[in-house]
Structure 1
Amino acid sequence: MTRFPVFDSLRGLCALALIVHHSHIERSLTELALFKQASYFVELFFAISGFLLYRQYINHLNTPRQLRDFAITQTFRVYPLHVLTLLVFIGFECAKLVLERTGLTLGGPAFSGDRAPAEILPNLLLIQAWWPGFNALSFSYPSWFVSVLYYVALLFGLMVFAVPGLSRIIVALLAVLGCAALFTHSTLLTPNVQWGVAAFFGGAMTYRLYVRLHSFKPGRALSSVLELALLVLTYRVLTGSEEQRPLKLVLLLCGAVLVFAFQAGIISQLLQGSLLRGIGRLWFSIYMIHAAVIFVMGTALQIIARQSGMTLFADMPAQTAGTVVRYISTGSVINDNLMLLFLVLSVLVLAMLVHRFVEVPGIMLGKRWIAGRIIDQRQGPSTSGSV
C-alpha cells in the first residue's frame, strides 16, 4: 500500500511547532503569533489519522479476528509510549516529594492540582479527555490527544465491523455532527473530543474525496499554488480572529490533507527531503516526550536560579484573564533563542532513543501478538504499515 511521506513530514513539523508552543521562553520564537496558536496543529494529527485509517481498514474489518487485530494494533501503537510518559511524570512528582522533605519546593506541592493521585487512573485508562470531571491536561498533558484518538479509532473499527453497509454513511454523519458541535459550541462532549471527532472523521471523508479526484490529479503548477494557498490561509486563520477558529481549521486542514495527499507540488517535494522525513518518523515520540523535557529543563533552571540568585523566570499575563504563565527569561534575545534551540535539539535526540527502544518495539510486540508468536522476540516484522 502506497505511503504518504508528506504526511510524516507534516506531522513532524507540527510536533516541532508544539515544542516551541509549550516552551514559554520570553524573547524567543515562542512569542511569534504562529507558535502561540500552534496547539491547533493537533487537529492535523487527527485528520491524517482519519484519512489513513479509513484508507487501510474501511474494507478490511469483516471478521472478529480482523477487529481483534485492529484493536491490538491501535493499542500497541500508543500505549507503551503513553505508559512510559505517565510513569515519568509520576516519577517527577515523587522526586518533588523527596525535595520537599529537604525544604526545597518547586512550583506547587507534589501530587496536587493537575497531578493529583485521583488523575492517575483516568490517565492510565486513557479516558482523561472524555469526562469533564477529569483533567484532560493532567500529568503528561500531550496525552489528551492519545486519549481521544485511541477511542475514536476503536469506535471507527467497531462501526466498520458491526455495520459495514452503513459505515460510510455513519462516518459522513459523524464528520458533520463533529463540525456542528464545534460550530454551536456544544457542551454534550468535551471540547477536546469535539476537535477529535470532527477532524478524524473529516479526515476519513477527505480520503473518500481523494479517491474520487485521483484520476484528476492536479499538475505541478496547480498543486504548488493550492499547497501555498492552504498554508497561507491556515496561517491567517491561526493568527486572526478567534471566531469559529477550531471549525475553520478542521475544514482547512482537511483541505490541506487532500491537496498534499497528491504529493505533486513544490512544497510537497520539499517535504519529502530526507531530513524532514526523518523527523516525521519521530513525530509521535517527539509529541509524547516534549512535555517531560520541558519540565526537566524548567525544574533545572529553578534550582539554578535558587542556588545562584539569578533571575531566570518572569511571570507574564496568560490569555485567560486573571492568570499568569511563568516564562523562562534570561534577559537576552540571543540567550533565550539559544535555550529554545537547545531544548528542541534535546527533544529530538531523546525522541530518537524513545522511538528506537520504546515506540518501535511496542509496535512490533503488537504485531507478534497478532501473528501468534509474542514470545519470540528474535524476529520483528516491519513497522512500515503502522499509521
Structure 2
Amino acid sequence: MKRFPVFDSLCGLCALTLIVHHSHIERSFTELALFRNASYFVELFFAISGFLIYRHYMNHLATPRQLRDFVITQTCRVYPLHVFMLVVFIGFECAKLVLERYGMSLNSAAFSGDRAPAEILPNLLLIQAWWPGFNALSFNYPSWAVSVQYYLALLFALIVFLVPALARKILTLLAVLSFVALFVETPLLTPNLQWGAAAFFGGALTYRVYLRLHDFAPGRLLASVLEIAILALIYVIMTEGEKPLTLELALLFCVAVLIFAFEAGVVSQLLRLRPFRWLGKLWLSIYMTHAAVIFAVGTALQIIAKRTGTTLFADLPGDAAGTMVRYVSTGTGINDNLIMVFLIVTVVVVSMLTYRYVEAQGVLLGKRWKAGKIVDRRQGPDASRSI
C-alpha cells in the first residue's frame, strides 16, 4: 500500500515551525508573521491523519480482531511517548519544588495553574481536550492534539465496525457537521475538538475525492503549479488573514492534502529527498518534546539571570488584549537568533533519542501485541512506523 512519504515530510516541517511558534524570543525570527500563526499547522496533522486512517482502515475493520489491532496500533503509536512526556513535565514540577525550598521561585509556583495535580488524571487518560472543565493545555500542552486525534480515530473505527453499510455516509455527515460547528463556534464542543474534528473528518472525506480523481492525476507541470499555488495561498491566509482562521485553513489544508497526495509536482519531489524524509520520521517526537525543551532552556536562562543579575527577559503585550507574554531578550538580534537555532537543534537531537527509545519501541510493542508475542525479546528494535 502506498506510503505517502511527502505527508511525513510536510508534518516534519510543520513540527519545526511549531518549535519557533512556541519560543518567544524578542529579536528573532519567531516574530515573523508565519511563525506567530504557526499553531494552525496542527490542522494539517489532523487532515493527514484522517486521510491516511480512512485509506488504511475503511475496508479493514470488519472483524473484532481487526478492530482490536486498530486500537492497539493507535494506542502504541502515541501513548508511550505521551506518558513519557507527561512524566517529564511532572518531574519539572518536582524540580521547581526543590528550587522553591532553596528560595528560588520561577514564573509560577510548582503544581499550580495549568500544572495543578488535578490535571494529571485527564492527561493520563488523554481526555484533557474533550471536556471544558479540563485544561487542554496543561502539562505538555502540545498533547492536546494527540488527545483529540486518538479518540477521533477510535470513533472512526467504531463507526466503520458497527455500521459498515452506513459508515461512508456517517463520516461524510460528521465532516459537514464538524465544519458547521467550527463556523458557528458551538459551545457544545471544546474549541480544540471543533478544530480537530473538522480537519480530521475533512481529511477522511478528502481521500474519497482523491479516489475519484486518481485516474486523472495531474502532470508534473500542472501538479507543480497546484502545489506552489496552495502553499502560497496558505501563506497569505496565515500571514494576512483576519483571525480566527481555523475554518479557512481547515479547508485549505484538506485541499493541500489532496494535491500533495499525487506527489507529482516539483515541491513533492523536493519533499521526497532524504533529509526531509528523515525529518518526517521524527515529526511526532519533535511535536511532543519541543515544549519540554523550551521549558528546560527557559528555566536555565531564568536561573542564569537570577544568579548573575543579567536581564534576559522582557514582558511584552500578547496577541490577546490585556495579556502579557514573557520573551527571552538578550538585547541583540544575533544572540536572540542563536538561542532560537540552539532550541531547534536541541529539540531535534532530543527527538532522535525519544524516537529511538520511546516512540519506535511503542510501535514495536504494538506489533508484538498484535502478533501475540508481547514478551518476545528476541526481535531487535524496529523503527518502522505508521500514522
Shorter-normalised TM-score: what interval? over 0.9
Distance in 2, matches of 1:255 and 1:365, equals 35
Determine the structure 2 residue equivalent to 1:267.
267
Give the AA of the match of 1:13: L
Residues 340-351 of structure 1: pairs in structure 2 closer than 5 A: 340-351=340-351
Give the AA of the match of 2:92: F
The runs of 5 or more residues in structure 2 that have no matched partner are none
CA drift at 1:245: 1.2
Give the AA of the match of 1:274: R
Give the AA of the match of 2:254: C
Give the AA of the match of 2:151: Y
Give the AA of the match of 1:165: A
- Contact 1:367-1:381 at 8 Å conserved across structures: no
- Contact 2:363-2:385 at 8 Å conserved across structures: no
CA drift at 1:377: 2.1
Distance in 2, matches of 1:115 and 1:37, equals 25
Determine the structure 2 residue equivalent to 1:32.
32
Distance in 2, matches of 1:110 and 1:353, equals 27
CA drift at 1:239: 1.4
CA drift at 1:157: 0.5
Determine the structure 1 residue equivalent to 2:202.
202
- Contact 2:77-2:363 at 8 Å conserved across structures: yes
- Contact 1:16-1:286 at 8 Å conserved across structures: yes
Determine the structure 2 residue equivalent to 1:124.
124
Q: In angstroms, what is the RMSD of aligned CA positions?
A: 1.0
CA drift at 1:386: 1.5
Distance in 2, matches of 1:382 and 1:184, equals 45
Distance in 1, matches of 2:318 and 2:277, equals 35
Determine the structure 2 residue equivalent to 1:327.
327
Distance in 1, matches of 2:237 and 2:92, equals 37
Determine the structure 1 residue equivalent to 2:314.
314
Determine the structure 1 residue equivalent to 2:182.
182
Determine the structure 2 residue equivalent to 1:242.
242
Aligned to 1:316, the other structure's residue is in SS state: strand
CA drift at 1:257: 0.3
Distance in 1, matches of 2:28 and 2:381, equals 43
CA drift at 1:380: 5.3
- Encode CA deviations 1:338-379: one digit per residue, 9 max, x unaligned: 110010000001100110010000011011011001000222
- Encode CA deviations 1:136-159: one digit per residue, 9 max, x unaligned: 000000000010000000000111
User: How many residues are matched?
Assistant: 387
Determine the structure 2 residue equivalent to 1:282.
282
Aligned to 2:109, the other structure's residue is in SS state: coil
Determine the structure 2 residue equivalent to 1:17.
17
- Contact 2:119-2:134 at 8 Å conserved across structures: yes
Determine the structure 1 residue equivalent to 2:8.
8
Determine the structure 1 residue equivalent to 2:85.
85
The runs of 5 or more residues in structure 1 that have no matched partner are none
Give the AA of the match of 2:352: M
CA drift at 1:244: 5.3
TM-score, scaled relative to structure 2: 0.99
Give the AA of the match of 1:287: Y
- Contact 1:182-1:244 at 8 Å conserved across structures: no
Distance in 2, matches of 1:183 and 1:299, equals 39
Residues 67-216 of structure 1: pairs in structure 2 closer than 5 A: 67-216=67-216
Determine the structure 2 residue equivalent to 1:251.
251
CA drift at 1:243: 4.8
* Residue 362 (structure 1) aligned with residue 368 (structure 2): no
Give the AA of the match of 1:230: I
- Contact 2:198-2:250 at 8 Å conserved across structures: yes
- Contact 1:364-1:380 at 8 Å conserved across structures: no
- Contact 1:23-1:294 at 8 Å conserved across structures: yes
Q: 191-200 vs 234-243, which deviates more? A: 234-243
Distance in 2, matches of 1:293 and 1:198, equals 30
Distance in 1, matches of 2:354 and 2:239, equals 33
- Encode CA deviations 1:300-350: one digit per residue, 9 max, x unaligned: 000000111111001010111111000001111111111100100000011
Aligned to 1:311, the other structure's residue is in SS state: coil
- The 1:261/1:43 distance shift into structure 2, 3 A limit, reads same
